[in-house]
Amino acid sequence: TDGELVYFNNPMWPGEAHSLKVEKILYQGKSEFQEILVFESSMYGKVLALDGIVQLTERDECAYQEMIAHLPLCSIPSPKTVLVLGGGDGGVLREIARHSSVEHIDICEIDKMVIDVCKKFFPDLSVGFEDPRVRLHIDDAVKFIRDTPEGMYDAIIVDSSDPIGPARELVEKPFFEIIARALRPGGVLCNQAESMWLHTHLIQEMLSICRETFDTVHYAWASVPTYPSGVIGFLLCSTNGPPVDFLNPINPIDKQEVVKSKRELKFYNSEIHKAAFALPAFAKRELSSF
C-alpha cells in the first residue's frame, strides 16, 4: 500500500529481496500473460513491475535501454532494418530511432496491455512507438521470428523478461537458431542476459548455445541499480559474414551531431561501450569456457 516498502521476492534471486518505497500505487491489473503493477516510488520515479519483477524505473531505465540498443547498433555500419522482441514499454524503440540510417523497425511484444499501460504512465518511453519507421506486431516472439524471411534484419534486440513467464522459450536453442537465420550475414543480436552475480548457470547455458549458433559471441554488462544485484548483462552475437568488432564501435552515435529535438544520451558513450566488455576476474573464469 501507499507509503510502504514493496518487497520483490523471486526464485531468480533466492535468499534476498529488493525493495522500493511506494509513494502511490498507480495501476494494478492482470493481463492474459502477467500481473502488471505501476507505482510512484520515492527515489526512482515511476516503476513498472511484471509478475513481481521490476522491468524499469524512470530514473535508471536509460542505462538498460541505451545499452541494449546502442551496443549492437553502434557495432555495425549504418544499420537499416531492426527487430525488437519484447520491449513493450517503447524505450528501446526510442533509442533505435536515434540512428538516422535505420529505415525499418519491427517490434513484436506478446502483451498489448503492457503497451497500453506504458502509453498511459511512461510517455517518455512509449514515445518510441510514435516514430514512423516502427511497425508493431502483437504476438509471441518465437512465433513471429519463425515466420520471418531469412536474412531480413541487420540487428535483432531481445528485450525480454526473465525466463520464468512468457519468455521461457527465449533462452532455448531453437530460438537462437531462428534468430541467426533471420539475420543477414554479419548481422548482430543483442540479448538481455541477466546478472553475472546471480545467474552464472543461465548465462553459461546461453553462451554455449550462442557459441554453437553464431560466429562471434561476447558478454557485456552495465549497472542498473533497480535490477536484482544492480547489474544486467547483454549477449552480443554476430552471424557469419562481414566481421563485427563489438569491442570497438565503428558507428559512434554519441559523436554524431545531436539533433536538437532528441533527448540527450544519459548513459551510453563510446568509452562505456568498450568498458562494458571488461569482465571481473570471477566472471571471466566462469564464462570463458562456455
Minimum CB separation of residue 123 from ligand AAT in Å reads 15
Q: Which of 89, 154, 159, 254 is catalytic?
A: 159
Minimum CB separation of residue 50 from ligand AAT in Å reads 6
Minimum CB separation of residue 186 from ligand AAT in Å reads 25
Which triple of cell numbers denotes residue 44? 526512482
Please, how many CA atoms are within 13 Å of residue 17, restricted to the half-sphere of its CB? 8
Nearer Cβ to ligand AAT (167/244)? 167
Q: What is the dihedral of CA 14, 15, 21, 26, to 10 degrees?
A: 30
Minimum CB separation of residue 240 from ligand AAT in Å reads 26
Number of H helices, E strands in the chain: 9, 12
Sheet containing 216-223: give its strands across: 134-138, 104-109, 81-86, 153-159, 183-192, 231-238, 216-223
Q: Which of 22, 56, 62, 157 binds ligand AAT (CB under 6 A)?
A: 56
Is-catalytic flag, 159? Answer: yes
Nearer Cβ to ligand AAT (79/166)? 166
Q: Measured in Å, how far apart are the chain's first and last C-alpha atoms?
A: 44
Do residues 274 and 236 touch, judged by C-beta distance below 8 A? no
* Piece of the chain touching ligand AAT by CB under 6 A; list 159-167, 182-190, 206-214, 263-271: 159-167
# residues contacting ligand AAT (CB under 6 A): 27
Q: Is 4 helix (H, G, I), strand (E, B) or coil?
A: coil
Binding of residue 128 to ligand AAT (CB under 6 A): no
Binding of residue 57 to ligand AAT (CB under 6 A): no
Distance in angstroms (rounded) separating the CA atoms of residues 66 and 96? 9
Residues known to be catalytic? 159
Binding footprint of ligand AAT on the chain (CB under 6 A): 50, 53, 55-56, 85-89, 91-92, 108-111, 114, 140-141, 159-162, 166-167, 170, 192, 227
